[in-house]
Chain A
Amino acid sequence: MLEIKNLHANINGKEILKGINLTVKAGEVHAIMGPNGSGKSTLSSVLVGNPAFEVTEGEVTFNGKNLLDLSPEQRSCEGMFLSFQYPVEIPGVSMVNFMRAALNEHRKYNGLDPLSATDFLKLMREKRAIVELDNKLASRSVNEGFSGGEKKRNEIFQMAMLEPKLAILDETDSGLDIDALRVVANGVNHLKTPDNAAIVITHYQRLLDYIKPDIVHVLYKGKIVKTAGPELALELEKSGYDWIKAELGEL
């Protein structure tokens, strides 16, 4: 589904990603862990086409298409979704209008007619139940005045609405208490099918207790330095990153 080859990227002239290689297949859940500043969020930003980052080298194929040629909105319509670490507030734009615009753009891209208002509202009701988002939130402005937990639930709600092929969850667990974490994780699991995939970026094992990864990667200084099964996450939780640094001959 996603194939990243030798990806390099800069922000403000500073190289953050220094040759990422990663393959994600349908049905898989990948976890990307790593110390602060290793480039985890940069990777997710680059994949969704955030213009603040500049790709200097490498290739990314997404479902057979050259991802780097696509605009951010095309990438979205192709089925790539980012659950933002810090979802931005958009005052004055109601969640209903926002989601309706987004969903209809996706439908247009796929040659479908826009959903009728009735069908849309029905879909919204159905999907917000998945993350226990109440109706009041859905009628408020996008993320405005939402608590940290509500913002994250709102991200997963949008994911449920857009049904992406590849969901990237960027530190979705940060700032969540244990109950909110469970709600969010249950939402993500509920949306899992053999046809879609997820990349979960996190610092902590605790999210991975709920969302079970198939493959765990360690990103360090802009490169993936270790790839293994779920046991790697447990090991990192217990021993931190020093042993990896040691393996790399840095300690």
Chain B
Amino acid sequence: MQESNDILNEVTSGDYKYGFVTNIDTETIHKGLDENTVRIISAKKNEPDWLLQYRLKAFRHWQTLEMPTWAHLQIPPIDYQDIIYYAAPKKKEGPKSLDEVDPELMKTFDKLGIPLHERAQLSGMAVDAVMDSVSVKTTFKETLAEKGIIFCSFSEAVQHYPDLIQKYMGSVVSYRDNFFAALNSAVFSDGSFVYIPKGIRCPMELSTYFRINAANTGQFERTLIVADDDSYVSYLEGCTAPMRDENQLHAAIVEIVAHDRAEVKYSTVQNWYPGDKEGKGGIYNFVTKRGICKGDYSKISWTQVETGSAITWKYPSCILAGDHSTGEFYSVAVTNNYQQADTGTKMIHLGKHTKSTIVSKGISAGHSQNSYRGLVKVSPRADGARNHSQCDSLLLSSTCGAHTFPYTEIQNDTAIVEHEATTSKISEEQLFYCQQRGISVEEAVGLIVNGYAREVMNKLPMEFAVEAQKLLTISLEGSVG
């Protein structure tokens, strides 16, 4: 079957569609990280003193930490003094209404398929668009405000809703949590804030689109979602970056708080620039995402489709504190060429009769390394906890690696914890069968991969699912062998 391997290898590789650079004046601060950097960022955002103090505490703590090395990743040394920690598209001179956005930025987001004109938008979706360190625009703010829903940039929330921010920020992911969380807490620049009041079902999908544009900068954003009692929200996050030869750092924090009977669905389609075929360039994606099901009968559901980034290090997790609360993690992680991903979840069962589901689908191609790492922990008082984990790996080449690292810590005899794992390969016979029916190898791979990932893709909101399906296929073009 050697020949068919060759055919597979020859299939031309898909280009990264979002690799362009927007030519816009950018205001940046000096390279490097010290207390002064932290103070400058805080001052630029006109932050209250408590927040500056928080940042400084985080920074001092970060200085005592070493980068974690336990992941199955080979991370080249990162010079944290060689990164710009704040970059903002410059506002043009002259009188302007507050809502007016630079046409160049509008065009950029149009090109990315994220129109910022409310008229042009998909009905039922509100967007917060973040470029580099600042939020460019948030749509449908007023419509949402009528229901008491707050959806705005993090910086704006600090100004307008300081009490909510002070109450919840860092309550799920402390700055002491890990190296990257500490770094983010010191230098975070923008992101989104969502608050859904009691009893409100958010009538539209909320989404944040993150774009890195400036060179030599890192992006450090924070997202905080608070769902009050009996509320519901579905939130989506997308991200892209220009193609560059040097690596860029992205270290974000996402925190979710779900109160009694609240439900939060958080979906990610991560498509940061993955680097070229030889593994040059690409984003380092080191992200801490965690939600707490604080209230009884609350539910948090993470769905992620990870196709981009040179290196991914992320474990969207759920702390199931409320009794009868539910945590879910659905993941498709694709690695191609020299990409590396170490991703998974933690389900921490604290409350009684808590339930968690983990479905992880890894797809590895080229010379990539793809690891699932997951922890299921059941605490002594979590009577009747249930977990079901399913981790599947699909290999598309003989040079890639797929790894599964499941950890369980069970401290309660009544827990029922199940783990299933499979590893499979796309066979030449399957591809040939498709070809005999008129379907090209590329398309056959797309069909099979999408079929394999369907269980997870079905969890994505409709508007996203189609895009994500295409993305899967494109990410793997030229990868089978």
Report yes or no: B437 in contact with A90, Cβ–Cβ below 8 A. no
Q: What interface size band does chain B fall in?
A: 20 to 34
Residues on B with beta carbons closer than 8 Å to the beta carbon of A88: 427, 429-430, 433
Report yes or no: B433 in contact with A71, Cβ–Cβ below 8 A. no
| Interface check A196, CB cutoff 8 A | no
| Interface check B21, CB cutoff 8 A | no
Per-residue contact bits, chain B 432-450, to A (CB 8 Å; 1 contact, 0 not): 1111111110010001101
Report yes or no: A87 in contact with B438, Cβ–Cβ below 8 A. no
Report yes or no: B452 in contact with A98, Cβ–Cβ below 8 A. no
Per-residue contact bits, chain A 18-31, to B (CB 8 Å; 1 contact, 0 not): 00000000000000
Per-residue contact bits, chain A 65-80, to B (CB 8 Å; 1 contact, 0 not): 0000001110111000
Report yes or no: B429 in contact with A92, Cβ–Cβ below 8 A. no
Q: Which of A87-139 contact B (CB under 8 A)?
A: 87-88, 90-94, 97-98, 101-103, 105-106, 109
CB distance from A151 to the nearest CB of B (A): 11
Q: What interface size band does chain A fall in?
A: 20 to 34
| Interface check A48, CB cutoff 8 A | yes
| Interface check A181, CB cutoff 8 A | no
Report yes or no: B438 in contact with A76, Cβ–Cβ below 8 A. yes
Report yes or no: A92 in contact with B427, Cβ–Cβ below 8 A. no
**Residue among B1, B440, B450, B451 making CB contact with A73, cutoff 8 Å:** B440
**Residue among A54, A77, A87 making CB contact with B433, cutoff 8 Å:** A87
Per-residue contact bits, chain B 7-18, to A (CB 8 Å; 1 contact, 0 not): 100000000000
**Please, how many angstroms separate the alpha-carbon atoms of A142 and B430 in the complex?**
10
Residues on B with beta carbons closer than 8 Å to the beta carbon of A81: 436
| Contacts A88-B427, A88-B430, A92-B452 given; does A97 touch B447 at CB 8 Å | yes
Number of A-B contacts (CB under 8 A): 86
**Please, how many angstroms separate the alpha-carbon atoms of A97 and B446 in the complex?**
11
| Interface check A60, CB cutoff 8 A | no
| Interface check A162, CB cutoff 8 A | yes
Of listed B1, B3, B438, B440, residue having the most chain A CB within 10 A = B438
Report yes or no: B438 in contact with A106, Cβ–Cβ below 8 A. yes
Name the residue on B nearest A82 (C-beta).
B436
Is chain B's interface secondary structure helix, strand, loop, or mixed overall? helix
Report yes or no: B438 in contact with A51, Cβ–Cβ below 8 A. no
| Interface check B91, CB cutoff 8 A | no
CB distance from B424 to the nearest CB of A (A): 8
Residues on B with beta carbons closer than 8 Å to the beta carbon of A103: 438
| Contacts A92-B448, A101-B447 given; does A51 touch B437 at CB 8 Å | no
CB distance from B193 to the nearest CB of A (A): 38
Residues on B with beta carbons closer than 8 Å to the beta carbon of A106: 438
Name the residue on B nearest A92 (C-beta).
B451
Q: Which of B297-353 contact A (CB under 8 A)?
A: none
| Interface check B454, CB cutoff 8 A | yes
Report yes or no: A52 in contact with B436, Cβ–Cβ below 8 A. no
**Please, how many angstroms separate the alpha-carbon atoms of A77 and B448 in the complex?**
20
| Interface check B4, CB cutoff 8 A | yes
Report yes or no: A76 in contact with B436, Cβ–Cβ below 8 A. yes
Report yes or no: B452 in contact with A72, Cβ–Cβ below 8 A. no
Report yes or no: B1 in contact with A97, Cβ–Cβ below 8 A. no
CB distance from A13 to the nearest CB of B (A): 12
| Contacts A51-B7, A88-B429 given; does A93 touch B448 at CB 8 Å | yes
| Interface check A193, CB cutoff 8 A | no
| Interface check A84, CB cutoff 8 A | yes
**Please, how many angstroms separate the alpha-carbon atoms of A109 and B454 in the complex?**
28
Report yes or no: A102 in contact with B433, Cβ–Cβ below 8 A. no
Report yes or no: B436 in contact with A105, Cβ–Cβ below 8 A. no
CB distance from A122 to the nearest CB of B (A): 20
Residues on A with beta carbons closer than 8 Å to the beta carbon of B4: 51-52
Report yes or no: B443 in contact with A76, Cβ–Cβ below 8 A. no
Report yes or no: B438 in contact with A77, Cβ–Cβ below 8 A. yes
**Residue among A54, A72, A97, A162 making CB contact with B432, cutoff 8 Å:** A72
Residues on B with beta carbons closer than 8 Å to the beta carbon of A90: 430, 433-434, 447-448, 451
**Please, how many angstroms separate the alpha-carbon atoms of A49 and B432 in the complex?**
9
Q: Which of B40-70 contact A (CB under 8 A)?
A: none
Report yes or no: B437 in contact with A162, Cβ–Cβ below 8 A. yes
Residues on B with beta carbons closer than 8 Å to the beta carbon of A174: none
Report yes or no: B439 in contact with A105, Cβ–Cβ below 8 A. yes
CB distance from A94 to the nearest CB of B (A): 7
**Residue among B424, B435, B451 making CB contact with A97, cutoff 8 Å:** B451
Report yes or no: A76 in contact with B452, Cβ–Cβ below 8 A. no
Residues on A with beta carbons closer than 8 Å to the beta carbon of B453: 92
CB distance from B432 to the nearest CB of A (A): 6
Per-residue contact bits, chain A 46-65, to B (CB 8 Å; 1 contact, 0 not): 00111110100000000000
Q: Which of B426-481 contact A (CB under 8 A)?
A: 427-430, 432-440, 443, 447-448, 450-454
Q: Which of B405-432 contact A (CB under 8 A)?
A: 424, 427-430, 432
| Contacts A77-B438, A105-B439, A162-B437 given; does A91 touch B451 at CB 8 Å | yes
CB distance from A194 to the nearest CB of B (A): 24
Of listed A76, A81, A109, residue having the most chain B CB within 10 A = A76
**Residue among B437, B440, B448, B452 making CB contact with A158, cutoff 8 Å:** B437
Chain A to chain B contacts (Cβ below 8 Å), 17 pairs = A51-B4, A51-B432, A52-B428, A72-B432, A73-B439, A76-B438, A81-B436, A84-B433, A84-B436, A90-B430, A90-B433, A92-B454, A98-B434, A101-B447, A102-B438, A105-B440, A109-B438
Residues on A close to B: CB < 8 A?
48-52, 54, 71-73, 75-77, 81-82, 84, 87-88, 90-94, 97-98, 101-103, 105-106, 109, 141-142, 158, 162
